[in-house]
Amino acid sequence: MQRLFTTFADGWPGAGLLLLRLFTGIALIHSGVAYSSQGDPLATDVLRIIGVAAGVGLMAGFLTPVVGALAAIAEAWIGISQIYSRVGDPWSALALATVAAGLAMIGPGAWSIDARRFGRRRIDLPR
């Protein structure tokens, strides 16, 4: 995991990534919960459950590249299926897919579980 990122952004960039992760996670959870009872096909409901799980993972900053890519694929699939079925608004799902893909590429930031588990550590040698 550490090879995916050169550093974990801290300071203002890290705070920005934290806000982006939090609000993307909230939007994914809201999308999954609010639209799950619309009588969509089972495949769409499974994708929404994946989106909710990915939202929780993004909010915590846990395996961000994997979870972000998973959320991007699920939301893109939902958006494209809504375009072809002409049911619902596909643009919100495609916007979530774009932001989740961006988070997968940028990384979690310093305030995340990934930074705690995979970040660089200082090793003090005995004197």
pTM, 2 dp: 0.80
* pLDDT tens digits for range 116-126: 777 666 666 67
Give a yes or no: residue 127 inside a domain. Answer: no
* pLDDT value, residue 10: 72
Give a yes or no: residue 113 inside a domain. Answer: yes
How many domains, in total, are found in the chain?
A: 1
Q: Which residues contact 99 (CB under 8 A, 6 or more apart)?
A: 20, 24
Give a yes or no: residue 17 inside a domain. Answer: yes
Give the residue numbers spanning the domain of 29.
Answer: 9-117
Q: Which residues contact 113 (CB under 8 A, 6 or more apart)?
A: 60, 61, 62
Give a yes or no: residue 124 inside a domain. Answer: no
pLDDT for 13 beyond 90? no
